[in-house]
Amino acid sequence: MNDFWSGVGVDLHLEPDAGDGRRVGLERALRDAVRDGRLAPGTRLPATRRLATELGVSRGTAKAAYDQLVAEGYLTARQGSGTQVASLPSASSDAPEATARARTPRFDLRPGSPDVGAFPAAAWLRALRRAIATAPLLAYDYGDPRGRIELRTALSGYLGRARGVIAPPERIVITSGYVQGLALLTRVLEGGTVGMEDPGLPFHREVVRRNGGSVVPVRVDERGACAEELGDCRAVVVTPAHQYPTGVTLRPERRRALTDWARARDGLIVEDDYDGEFRYDRQPVGALQGMAPGQVVYLGTASKTLGPALRLGWMVLPPQLVDAVADAKLHSDHHTESIGQLALAELIDSHAYDRHVRACRLRYRRRRDQLLDRLGNRHTVHGIAAGLHALVDVADEAEVLERAEAEGLALGRLGDHWHGSGEGRPQGLVVGYGTPRERVYPEALEVLGKVLDRS
């Protein structure tokens, strides 16, 4: 007997086996659903009259099954509250939870994430309400793989005035974040050799490899990526505004060298502008794309300004790549969800996005200043005054990280970012100051300072 409960507050597929009688079969089906977790603790079950009607059994059968499971401790029944699934002790589930708690650091200074507690929930809700109130009906249907025209138009204006990007709406493709944009582009290029900064983010190298590309390291020094090492690469991925993880910015002569290489070799520059809005000692450096819009693919996201959970990113493409990337997007996931796109467009058009970015800029500048004050002159901090991370010199990464772990402090390791083993190369800690909440950040810095002072 296969039935769905409908109209009773619970949708659950049951398969009572009536071979040993309807009551026993119903008891076993309910018991298995609780044990398997399909009926979670606290779930309110339908009244016996409704359950009997839905399953085609007598009310007495349903009541007897409930009473038996209440007696066994699987269910609870209280006057006025109905019948609910009880909380059962489970040794198998306790162990993973305990392990997860043990792995959660007291203080998280790993790089890569913003302070998600600063998400502008009220402004986002207002933008979402306005977007839904004015959205055309087609916004709820399958859409253009390039993304909603409302967001592409809003981004065209924002990127032009805030980042110096030449971004007509027809050359923008909305993605579900930077990683999808990089993967789509690698597929469109049909593999080939891609230069990637050394050091750089290992996960991004793996994205290129898994989508058919081969990766070669491009050395980064105090002036940024070295264009003379590109050789026969088809494309190069760079972080010009604030290199990750060294924190340097791509100098003007290196910018010219990269664009000259791209024009001469018909190569492609992929600009990862992951935190370009966050410069603290001067106006943010304009995007590289503005120098050579025909040779640069500009990739940006809302992950650092708003939060990774939104899964909203964008690509500004040279004209010759738009159709191919849109087709790859169509056959990847058809299109990025639309309602969030409309809300972000409204946030940008109302300038609430600019206000939020300015507030974040002040917050992260203050955090970076606090980090420098705590470390003083005892430890060398590399990188420009920008972004959400800093690189700190240490003599022995493993030793410092071991001490940090003992104090419940999580940090990034420069050694993880080199192509290859990284043996014999400079060592350091990649300290992210975006993640901690405001109230715990000072204590996190105190722990960091003590750990480093003992090195």
Query: In the CATH hierarchy, which top-level class contains the domain 107-117+355-453?
Result: alpha beta
Amino acid present at 337: E
- What does CATH list as the number for 3-85? 1.10.10.10
Q: Which two tokens stand for residue 297?
A: 């693919």
DSSP string, 96-150: HHHHHHHHS-SEEE-SS---GGG--HHHHHHHHHHHHHH--GGGGS---TT--HH
3-class DSSP assignment, residue 56 = coil
Cα(84)–Cα(89) distance, rounded to whole angstroms?
16
- Taking only the tens of pLDDT, the chain with its 455 residues reads 444 444 445 565 667 877 778 888 888 889 888 888 888 898 888 888 888 888 888 999 989 989 888 888 899 988 777 899 998 765 444 555 444 444 688 999 999 999 999 999 999 999 999 999 999 999 999 999 999 999 999 999 999 999 999 999 999 999 999 999 999 999 999 978 999 999 999 999 999 999 999 999 999 999 999 999 898 899 999 999 999 999 999 999 999 999 999 999 999 999 999 999 999 999 888 999 999 999 999 999 999 999 999 999 999 999 999 999 999 999 999 999 999 999 999 999 999 999 999 999 999 999 999 999 999 888 999 999 999 999 999 999 999 999 999 999 999 999 999 998 767 799 999 999 999 989 999 999 999 999 999 86
User: Which residues sit opposite 272 in a β-bridge?
Assistant: 299
pTM > 0.85: yes or no: no
Residue boundaries of the structural domains of the chain:
3-85, 107-117+355-453, 119-351
DSSP string, 315-354: EE--GGGHHHHHHHHHHHHSS--HHHHHHHHHHHHTTHHH
107-117+355-453 and 119-351: same fold? no
Was domain 119-351 assigned CATH 3.40.640.10? yes
